[in-house]
Amino acid sequence: MKLALVGDIGGTNARFALWRNETLESIRVLATADFASPEQAVSHYLAGLGLAPGSLGSVCLAVAGPVGGEHFRFTNNHWRLSRAAFCRTLQVERLLLVNDFTAMALGMTRLREHERVLVRPGVAESDSPVVVIGPGTGLGVGTLLPLGDGCWKALPGEGGHVDLPIGSLREAAIWQHLHGQLGHVSAENVLSGNGLLLLYRTLCALDGHSERLATPAEVSAAALAGDPVAVEVLELFCCWLGRVAGNNVLTLGARGGVYIVGGVVPRFAAFFQASGFVRSFASKGCMSGYFEGIPVWLVTAEYPGLEGAGVALQQANFRRMGGA
């Protein structure tokens, strides 16, 4: 039997693994900037394992953006993909593309207890939807729907591009400045790695500070070291993440809980847990009581998107073989 490969492709990194017996093997992380196309990256991955094109029977790639049709253009990197050309180049029998947060959401079904940190205590309702939201290169949002008997369906979406919600006069002033620069201000403009730097520059412009920090990593490091401007940036970031996550809970009736994923928040996990995230999450006026008992977790698992891509491939193969 030929091998199955799964991939989780973001703006900066492409993660690949073999999927065998419902388990990830030979995980590698490659920089998307180092390759002209996904075919080149996969070929490089296979060569590193001593495998030639034609070794793969099926591939599932989790990709950022709406999935459908023959051609796909990656949202946060320079790659493009033609399904037919990909299969022809790599001699693959079957290619499945899924939205990256569909895969991320499915990955939550395989989490082990030590791979998540409780941020807001509560008891998840097993028959209610679950929100999965994560700042990274962009902002991803996914939904898990319970189907019964321990089965779940992941709903793709582009919730990172919703309007940035305003909860205070300070936030309104920041929004106004951003609107002057960007026009439409989305949640992703702020809730992403680059969003940290954009917020920092905005506060410097509004308050007359000189800009000393030049990267998102410098902003978060300065905040953890006590720099007052950077501390406000990180606090605003956490509060806005809470507000956007709470909006999703109300929209979906997601009393099954919320998972915070992605590469940004774990870098300042202790700050995040002590921030205004929880307050902003449930501050919804007359509907604030709705949030009673809804838990929130910060996910620390290393490769949940790859795990979810494996689950997606497994489910697709099950359906193709006539499963219920």
Tell me: is residue 7 an annotated ligand-binding position: yes
What CA–CA distance (Å, rounded) separates 67 from 70?
Answer: 9
Residue with the two structure tokens 């070929």: 43
Residue at 153: amino acid letter: K
Task: State the Cα–Cα distance between residues 55 and 149, nearest whole angstrom.
Answer: 35
142 is in an annotated binding site: no
- Distance in angstroms (rounded) separating the CA atoms of residues 110 and 124: 16
CA angle in degrees (0–180, nearest 5) for 196-202-205 = 145
Q: Are the CB atoms for 51 and 88 separated by under 8 Å?
A: no
- What region does 22 belong to: left with phi over 0, alpha with psi -120 to 50, or beta? left
Q: Are 250 and 281 in contact (CB under 8 A)?
A: no
CA–CA dist 115, 104 (Å, integer): 14
- Contact between 175 and 139 under an 8 Å Cβ cutoff? The reply is no
Closest CA to 66 of 143, 139, 134, 157: 157
8 carries a ligand binding annotation:
yes
253 has binding-site annotation: no
- Would you list which residues are annotated within the binding site? 7-12
Binding residues for ATP: 7-12
